[in-house]
Chains A and B, each alone.
Chain A
Amino acid sequence: MSLLSLSNVTIRYGRLTAVRNVAFSMAEGEILFITGPNGAGKSSLLRAIAGVTPPAGGRIDFEGQDITGRAPEDIARLGISMVPEGREVFGSLTIEENLLVGTGMHARERGWRARAAQALDDIYATFPILKDRRHTQAGLLSGGQQQMLVIGRALMTNPRLIAIDEPSLGLAPNITDQVYERLIGLRAHRKLTLLIVEQSSTRAMMVGGRMILMRGGEVLIDGDARAMGQSEAMHAAYFGIGEH
């Protein structure tokens, strides 16, 4: 059974259609890149999955449960954690406070305090720089540190699926390498399912896994990232060759 599946998802902002009849599904533990040029509808898709922008049509299922149009806080409880574009740290909160926000939803469960403390230790072990600066206001961190913080913050909710919008945006290539190294490590370690949006497909081809190429709100190609790297069709789709 697939963990996440989208069928005929359409997203509109007023009269503008950002995503048109998109369908795909993900298996547990899979890594899926959604790539495509600006305005392809990648971010809108993530926002729909997280419940931030409910789709105008279609259906989204998570673990066989219909989650279409449910509130973001309910979707978070089911185990989907989204890291939005532009990172969105709580700038006036400290690093540790940022990390703890997502643990509150488990507060009714027995032993949540111990588990939250354990999760915090895990995040600090993965990203030692966050531990060193844990009482610093998050707004004062560098871009790379903020990226690590928001990934850590998303992990604190103990998700099954983590959806990240442009983790490499605004980061130096070596920092991006570090971020990806951690993500891949976490995937193996926690059996996480990863849904990653990137504008460029080069990262997907380096990391491997599955890749969906979107353009103008529709899925153009869905396949193995490395195989796509060699394909002519992909280049044509990406750069719009032969259309004008």
Chain B
Amino acid sequence: MGSIMQVVFDALSLGSLYALGALGIALIFGVMRLVNFAHGDVIAFCVFALLWPSVDAVAITFAGNLPWFLLIPFVLCVGAGLSVLSEVVVFRRFRHANPATMMIASFALGFVIRYFLLMLYSSRPKSISLLPALSQPVEVFGARIPLLQVITIAVTIGVLIGLTQFLRRTRFGLEMRAAAENFTMARVLGVRANRVIMGAFALSGALAAAVALILGSQTGTANIMMGANVMLMAFIATVIGGMGSLAGAVIAGFLLGAVATVMQVILPPDARAFRDAFVYGAVILVLIFRPQGLLSARGTKERV
């Protein structure tokens, strides 16, 4: 019983990370038809925002020393700010470009962010102790679960509920949903394109920051490549979920987390090193049978 609970919590917390990442990608794809590959580097940037720039091996903590009630808003603002900045400086110029061009621009932006971090902090991974109190284990149904996992899952559920309420109940949320379905029609009804797109980028950046906080506390390291793996899985989750479908992205994120965790347990020990190959194999199978994704978004019509 205890070990099953352990697997369940592992799956849920890994899935949370993928779901939050996928949501950040799907939000922007929904309004702009842009697959933002710089998302992973925004995540890394948020982790490094906790450190003072230096190329020394020992990290000099800067914002990381703030109490949590200041630290969390600070990181969320960094993520949202960087994301909005990338929209204003880069993606706005590509708004009428075709999706492939925008995607390549996002790759380029990702490299710019990554090498900016490399320049300031060097490529050496640095150890950070972010919110150390969270590594304490807690007892849940007879299993000893790291408190961080429990908080990760709780935070993710909270974010999902909050975002759903925001999209359902607020005027801005309504405008975003309308724009995601038919951008031109929304504009004809007076919805401001720039406002909606910047709002989507701000939300997406804040989600990247949330992933950064979880990832930073989980791994205890800051590494300029740390966003890449989450980004890849999150992107796959948005594809499996059905591009542009927020619910699909979340479900697929949790599904990927579950598949990866379960494979880790059931695969023969020799094959565990190749776990990701099995996960991607499962992804291929899903896409063969449902190329449009699990929940296909209704409004994947081109923007004008």
Which residues of chain B come closer than 8 Å to A51, judged between CB atoms?
Answer: 187-188
Known contacts A71-B193, A100-B174, A90 near B185 by CB under 8 Å: yes
Binding site of B, secondary structure by majority: helix, strand, loop or mixed?
Answer: helix
Q: Is the CB of B174 within 8 A of A84?
A: no
Partner-contacting stretch, out of A75-83, A128-136, A194-202: A75-83
Known contacts A52-B304, A104-B171, A93 near B177 by CB under 8 Å: yes
Which residues of chain B come closer than 8 Å to A84, judged between CB atoms?
Answer: 185, 188
For residue A92, CB closer than 8 A to chain B, the reply is yes
Q: How many residues of chain B are within 8 Å of chain A by beta carbon?
A: 20
With CB as the reference atom, state the residue of chain B lying closest to A154: B189
Q: Which of A62-82 contact B (CB under 8 A)?
A: 71-73, 76-77, 81-82
Q: Is the CB of A101 within 8 A of B298?
A: no
Chain A nearest Cβ from B247, distance in angstroms: 11
Q: Give A50 to B185 CA distance when docked, in angstroms.
A: 10
Which residues of chain A come closer than 8 Å to B129, judged between CB atoms?
Answer: none
With CB as the reference atom, state the residue of chain B lying closest to A77: B190
Known contacts A91-B298, A92-B299, A104-B171, A76 near B178 by CB under 8 Å: no
Q: Is the CB of B193 within 8 A of A101?
A: no
Q: Is the CB of A90 within 8 A of B187?
A: no
Q: How large is the interface on A (under 10, 10 to 19, 20 to 34, 35 or more residues)?
A: 20 to 34
Q: Is the CB of B193 within 8 A of A82?
A: no
Name A76's contact: one of B175, B181, B190, B304 (CB within 8 Å): B190
Chain B nearest Cβ from A185, distance in angstroms: 22
Known contacts A92-B181, A101-B174, A101-B178, A153 near B299 by CB under 8 Å: no
Residues 170-186 of chain B, each 1 if its beta carbon lies under 8 Å from chain A, else 0: 01001101100110111
For residue B192, CB closer than 8 A to chain A, the reply is yes
Which residues of chain A come closer than 8 Å to B304, judged between CB atoms?
Answer: 52-53
Interface residues of A (CB under 8 A from B): 50-53, 71-73, 76-77, 81-82, 84, 88, 90-93, 97-98, 100-102, 104-105, 107, 139, 153-154, 157
Instruction: Beyond A76-B189, A90-B177, list 5 extra A-B contacts (CB 8 Å).
Output: A52-B184, A90-B185, A91-B298, A107-B171, A157-B189
Interface residues of B (CB under 8 A from A): 171, 174-175, 177-178, 181-182, 184-193, 298-299, 304
